[in-house]
Amino acid sequence: MALRVALVASEAAPFAKTGGLADMVGSLAVALARQGLEVTLVLPAYAGVLRRADVVGAGMGFNVPAIDGIERTEVLESVLGEDARAYFVRTDRFFDRPGLYGQGGADYQDNADRFAYFARAALALLARLGPYDVLHGHDWQAGLAIAYLRLQPDRYPALASTRTLFTVHNVGYQGLFDAGVFPRLQVDDAHYWSNFEFYGNISYLKAGLSLAERLTTVSPSYAEEIMTPEQGFGLHGVFKERAGDLVGIMNGADYAVWDPSVDPFIARQYSPVAPEGKRDCKRDLQRRLELPPSDAPLAGMVARLVDQKGLDILVGALDALLSRDLQLAVLGTGNPYHEQALRECGQLHPDRMAVRIGFDEELAHAIEAGSDLFLMPSRYEPSGLNQLYSLRYGTIPVVRATGGLKDSVLPFDEATGGGTGFLFEDYESAALVQAVDRALDCHGRPAAWRRLVANAMAQDFSMERTAAEYAELYAKLVDRDD
């Protein structure tokens, strides 16, 4: 019999997305279904979801105990890929808003209530659709779904034999709330210290981490890094304690969406055997961004503009980078301070640097296809997806050697002709500039560059592989007799 797995997450492409979490969850659901598992995905019914033509009422509704009384919940549904089922729990007072987690750089004040409700509603729905073999929660927004199922199993008898797996996509986001929220969660006080308390606050991430039967994170290196004080964001002790239950599984890319031979968003499709189209994509990108149609190497970057992504060392490197024969294209949104710094630099150098502040899926594809280099100077990077896309698009990643970047980009070795990109260790502007210089040097030697691009495009980081690893983990979890 096919394993039945329920994915609970706060975002999944194509329904709701702020970052890599959405890409991963959406493509994992599709890939698992393709491998024969029965997949149910549960998401909140955000404003953007309500507007989609492919989302319809499921003819199901129920009451959910929420923070201040009973919350009426309607259920919407859709299909993801061929046959993964997506369900959306709808309570407009929590989710019919412009943002997923906040607006204008500020979190919504009631996120604790919103995602406690989401957890309850998701479990109530799954109990009606169940039984399930595995509940697979993602990040802090799903932490309480794991917690409620483990701590209050009597409420969900249909899920009595459901095993729990929790994936941490980024330990930097912990779902931290004032400890005064705890009584509203309606969880027995006995669990406060061991499962919720975090330096005087409560953490929904800790709830998921401490209560799920198994844990994963999104690359092998990151699984090691989060056990250290530098990268564990205060949770390294919890990770160490659970080391035996924790594995790092490298994320994969959805090549149905991110592949230059099928990408509908790019000016001209191309592939390893017919690479000519990439030049047209570069010209198209320059046109879109009002950069001169130069043959100078073009370095792209698409990211949430937050400290994690290395914005401070990037901004510190801009003068040096722009003194090279190089064009820069940056797309992102996030911290207003970083947005401003980039914008100002773009205004000073309109012929060399284009900055677009905003979320623009189509432009993200155009940057992947039209750039020669892709910059990811991240302070830390649990998995990173853009470098996987870059490899596929023959856009050479220049990355800091951390987390999933280290696990997926191989240093180019001039002597053997092996490798797929350029890495640097120190979190410093000068180290980034040096790595870009190495890339520019290589770009100046066409034979070496062609080899590098061919290596990059030949890599396989497909979500199929990632999904197969998760499927194996689910099977092991279900077979466990403890």
Dihedral angle, C-alpha 262, 266, 269, 274, nearest 10 °: -130
Smallest distance, Å, CB 466 to ligand ADP?
A: 13
Between residue 216 and residue 245, which ones bind ligand ADP under the rule CB under 6 A?
A: none
Q: Which is nearer to ligand ADP, 102 or 131 (CB)?
A: 102
b or e along 399-426 (b: 16 or more beta carbons within 10 Å of the residue's beta carbon)? Answer: bbbbbbbbbbbbebeeeeeebbbbbbee
Shortest separation between residue 459's beta carbon and ligand ADP, angstroms: 16
Cβ neighbours for 209, distance < 8 A, ≥ 6 positions apart: 143, 166, 168, 215, 235, 238, 239, 242
Angle between helices 429-443 and 446-457 (to 10 degrees): 110
How many Å apart are CA 274 and CA 434, to the nearest integer? 32
* Rounded (10°) angle between helices 311-322 and 336-348: 10
The answer to whether 333 contacts ligand ADP (rule: CB under 6 A) is yes
Distance in Å, CB of 331 to ligand ADP, minimum: 5
CA distances in angstroms from 371 to 177, 280, 347, listed in the order given: 41, 11, 20
Binding residue for ligand ADP, selected from 84, 385, 432, 436, defined by CB under 6 A: 385
Listed residue (427, 456, 426) closest to 439, CA to CA: 456
Gap between the Cα atoms of 44 and 121, Å rounded: 9
Q: Which of residues 264-323 bind ligand ADP (CB under 6 A)?
A: 302-304
- Whose Cβ is closer to ligand ADP: residue 162's or residue 174's? 174
Task: Tell me the residue nearest to ligand ADP as measured from the CB.
Answer: 20
Report the residue number, 39 or 385, with the smaller CB distance to ligand ADP: 385
**DSSP string covering 138-150:** ETGGGHHHHHHHH
Q: Which residues pair with 355 in a beta bridge?
A: 330
| 3-class DSSP assignment, residue 410 | coil
Which CB sits closer to ligand ADP, 113 or 263? 263
DSSP assignment of 37-59, as one string? -EEEEEEE--HHHHT-TT-EEEE
Report the DSSP pairing between strands 56-66 and 69-80.
antiparallel
Calpha distance 309→421 (Å, rounded): 18
Only one of the segments 73-81, 383-391, 440-448, 472-480 lies at the binding site for ligand ADP (rule: CB under 6 A); that segment is 383-391
Q: Supply the minimum distance, in Å, between the C-beta of residue 14 and ligand ADP.
A: 11
Count of residues of this chain found to bind ligand ADP when the rule CB under 6 A is applied: 18
Query: Which range in 58-66, 131-139, 377-385, 460-468 contacts ligand ADP by CB under 6 A?
Result: 377-385
Q: How far is the CB of 207 from ligand ADP (least distance, A)?
A: 22
| Closest distance to ligand ADP from the beta carbon of 72 (Å) | 33
Residue with Cβ nearer ligand ADP (244 or 264): 264
Q: How far is the CB of 343 from ligand ADP (least distance, A)?
A: 14
Shortest CB 129 distance to ligand ADP, Å: 28
Per-residue binder mask for ligand ADP (CB under 6 A), 386-425, x = binder: x---------------------------------------
* Nearer CB in complex with ligand ADP: 130/377: 377
Torsion of CA 7, 9, 15, 17, to 10 degrees: -140
Nearer to ligand ADP, 117 or 258 (CB): 258
Q: Which of 48, 297, 384, 403 binds ligand ADP (CB under 6 A)?
A: 384
Among 45, 171, 331, 432, binds ligand ADP (CB under 6 A): 331
Closest to 436 measured CA to CA, from 295, 302, 304, 328: 328
Site string for ligand ADP, 352-371 (x = CB under 6 A): -------xxx--x-------
With a CB cutoff of 8 Å and minimum separation 6, the contacts of 481 are none
Burial class (CB in 10 A: 0-12, 13-18, 19+), 102: middle
> Among residues 155 and 304, whose Cβ is nearest to ligand ADP?
304
Nearer to ligand ADP, 384 or 419 (CB): 384
Name which of residues 6 to 45 contact ligand ADP (CB under 6 A): 19-21, 23
Distance CA(53)–CA(167), nearest Å, equals: 30
Nearer to ligand ADP, 165 or 355 (CB): 355
Which residues make up the interface to ligand ADP (CB under 6 A)?
Answer: 19-21, 23, 302-304, 331-333, 359-361, 364, 383-386
